Every structure is written in structure tokens, then in C-alpha cells.
Chain A
């Protein structure tokens, strides 16, 4: 398949082409960047919703219910479910799809499972590109689901317009556990399994924490109660997500975020490319290895060496120019 065919297929909403592009992205195939650059101006339409929270909080059930609700409202949905890969074997059991059986044959829904792998560019970069691809294929809503336990998960979620953080009653210290970074970017809180005792208490705890937040902007994250199993509270959640997008537009935050994101993305890609370029010239060269040995023996220092290598690199460029 040529890049043109691939791009045309994605734009036409064909699943096979979209899946193939995602595979290229995940495998860090250079064709992926080519295709994405051709698709880029067709992106930016979808509302990206990130959903994260501790295991057992029912995220997948909520995502399934949200998807049903969106479909009822006539919108198409893409779902990217990110699961941790084993740091030892590199393998992963991607267990979110199995919880979304209801939508398995709905043409308006596309589900993709991703492991965190050893992405050279970082998992957030890869997820962002996958979301772009789905965006280009015309989905109205793209839900990104992660476990939300660490820094990289925060980065993944940060690509979303609206971040939903889930929790369950009786989880005790879990709110503290997922605090690092997630709380700062949460736009909506969901206390799921509201039929369990302590649901209201948990909601109150979150509200108290929000009361104490000095840095809150104009949007105060609402705290919603849901029952993923029965579907209670889900239409309200979808309403709130829509409301958030309205807020983002009207307050100018959307534009601001867009600028910041484009800046970040450009930086990330340039940084990645530059590093790749520099390293590809250096790696394996005897002078390079020798320089490293000298640093290790303390006959030289990494700061000086770096300065020199970069200066040579830049000089090489200006010579070519």
C-alpha cells in the first residue's frame, strides 16, 4: 500500500487503513511520520477525552457506557486503551477491549489497545500520534483510557482536551496514590460504583480538596456519581464533558491549549529528530567511543565533550549550507 492509498483510506474512514497506520506508528516506521504529516491538516476536529484512575474503579465500564451514550446521540467514537507492558519481558496483556463487547460490531466505534512498550519517542508521543490518526479518520470523540499511576500516564492524559479522573468509594488512600500530577490536570471527577457505601463521602472528600485549591481557574471540576453497571450518571457525565468543551472554546482556553500543544509537539519532534540525527552520526564511531572512555576515566568531562560534539555537528550543517 502506498502512502497516498493509506492516507486516502484513513480520510475515508476505512478501518483497515486506520489500523495499518496505527501499526506503522507503533512500530516507529518512517512511513508513519510521512502519512501523519499529510493527514495533519485534517486533524483537530475530534474532542479528546482522557480517562484515568486506579485499577478497579470501573474505567472500562464507564468508557463502554459513555460510548453507548455518544452513539445514541449520533456521534462516532474512537477508543485508545493503554495498558502497561512488563518492564521485564516487554509483553502485555491488553485487557480493555474484552470489556467493550457491546460495540464490537458497531461501525461507528473503533477500539485500539496499546501497550506502553519501549517506545523510543515515549509512550505519550506514540499515543498522541495514534489519536491524531483516529482524529483524521473522522471520529467525533476519542477516548484515551489509562491506568494513571505514574508520570508517563500523566503525559498521555495531557493530550486530552478533557480529563476525567475516576475513583471508587472505600478506596481509602487511592486518591493520594494517584495524586502526583493527575489531580492538577483533572477536569471532571467521577466517583463510580455509587451503590457502594461511602460514595457520598468520597465525593465530599474530593470537593473539600478542590475547595482548598488556590490555583483553580474558571472551571471548577464537577464531582459526579455514577454506576457503570446500571448506567446511572453516564448521560450527565457526557453532558458535562460537552459542557467542558463549550467552556474551553468560550474562555479561549481551547486556543491557548492548542498553541501550547503545537509548541510542545514541535519541540518533542524536533528534539527527537535532532537527537536521532546526532546519535546516528556518532554511535559506533571509534572517536565517540574513545571520548566516552576518557570521560569514564575522568580524563575528560561530559559537559566539555557535549559542547564540542554539538559545535562540530552545527558547524557541519553550516558548511553544507
Chain B
């Protein structure tokens, strides 16, 4: 990868959940791994997330949610991405997401879910492996 090609990641907090420790820690880790990271801040609607992802030409969207609202919000985000022709963006998620929900989320297009206790390196390596540069 030339020095001018960077992996761009959008870290987003969909919905009303205000716990941003995980999002911020992951954002820093990705920055330290050489990526360009845009953190959206709290209270993002699916529309805002998709708009930011497209305008910023991100390679990855990382969704962080701990409020249990992921089944309502994640599929909606995937739907909007498809509508905008941006479903080639790699979408991953983390937070409090029960194992049982993961298959349905993957069916909706979420590539991977990283639960509590995931080492930061695992997320970094996954992105590096799965983003086409």
C-alpha cells in the first residue's frame, strides 16, 4: 500500500446509547494502526451514518451499540447503504449484541460482530485483511 492509500473508517454510535468508551478506544487503536478514523459522535440516525460514510469514502463502518436497539438500527443502516449503492463498504459491529442475534445481523449484511473482551488487535487485523486496497 502506497503511503497515500489509507484505510478510512467511520466509527458510529447509532441510536440513543451514550456509552462511547468502546468506540473511542477502538478509534484510537485504528489510528495507531495507520488508519484514518472519523468518529461520528453520539445519537446518529441511520441516515446520518450512511451520509457520512458516503461523503467520506470510507472503507469500513464500525457500529458501536450497547442499548439493545441493534436489531432495529443495523438492518436499517444496511438497507440505506444498499439503496445508495454503497454496500461495498465493510460494516462491522460491537457492543452488547447477544450471540443469538448475530446470524440475522450477518444475513442483513453485517460482516462481523466483535463482542466484549475482543482484543483491539483482532479488530485491526480483521479490517486489514478484509479491506481491498
Real complex partners, A and B?
Answer: yes
- Of the candidates A89, A91, A112, A120, the one whose C-beta lies within 8 Å of that of B4 is A120
Chain B residues in 8 Å Cβ range of A115: 6, 36
- The number of A-B residue pairs with CB atoms under 8 Å apart is 94
Chain A residues in 8 Å Cβ range of B86: 16
Given A19-B56, A91-B35, check contact A26 B4 (CB 8 Å): yes
Chain B residues in 8 Å Cβ range of A94: 36-38
Alpha-carbon gap, A210 to B56, bound state (A): 39
Docked-complex contact B37 and A93, CB < 8 angstroms: yes
Least Cβ distance of B111 to chain A in Å? 20
Docked-complex contact B55 and A19, CB < 8 angstroms: yes
Alpha-carbon gap, A173 to B18, bound state (A): 38
Alpha-carbon gap, A183 to B3, bound state (A): 32
Interface bits A95-118 vs B (CB < 8 Å: 1, else 0): 101100100110000111101011
Given A89-B34, A115-B36, check contact A19 B54 (CB 8 Å): yes
Chain B residues in 8 Å Cβ range of A117: 3-4, 6, 36
Interface residue range, chain A: 20 to 34
Most buried by A among B34, B36, B47, B84: B36
Alpha-carbon gap, A85 to B84, bound state (A): 30
Alpha-carbon gap, A85 to B33, bound state (A): 12
Alpha-carbon gap, A90 to B3, bound state (A): 8
Docked-complex contact A89 and B51, CB < 8 angstroms: no
Given A90-B3, A118-B3, check contact A20 B57 (CB 8 Å): yes
B115 within 8 A of A: no
Docked-complex contact B36 and A97, CB < 8 angstroms: no
Docked-complex contact B57 and A98, CB < 8 angstroms: no
Given A86-B31, A93-B31, check contact A98 B39 (CB 8 Å): yes
Alpha-carbon gap, A105 to B43, bound state (A): 14
Quick one: which of A91-150 are within 8 Å of B by CB?
91-95, 97-98, 101, 104-105, 110-113, 115, 117-120, 126
Alpha-carbon gap, A85 to B56, bound state (A): 16
Docked-complex contact B32 and A91, CB < 8 angstroms: yes
Alpha-carbon gap, A93 to B47, bound state (A): 22
A152 within 8 A of B: no
Quick one: which of B37-94 are within 8 Å of A by CB?
37-41, 47-48, 51-52, 54-57, 84-86
Docked-complex contact B57 and A91, CB < 8 angstroms: no
For the complex of A and B, the 10 pairs showing the least CB-CB separation, nearest first, are A118-B3, A23-B57, A91-B31, A98-B41, A90-B34, A91-B34, A28-B4, A104-B48, A19-B57, A115-B36
Q: Footprint of A on B, CB under 8 Å?
A: 2-6, 27-28, 30-41, 47-48, 51-52, 54-57, 84-86
23 CB-based A-B contacts, threshold 8 Å: A15-B54, A16-B84, A16-B85, A27-B2, A27-B5, A28-B4, A85-B6, A86-B31, A89-B31, A89-B34, A93-B28, A93-B39, A95-B39, A98-B40, A101-B48, A105-B48, A111-B56, A112-B55, A112-B56, A115-B36, A118-B3, A118-B4, A126-B4
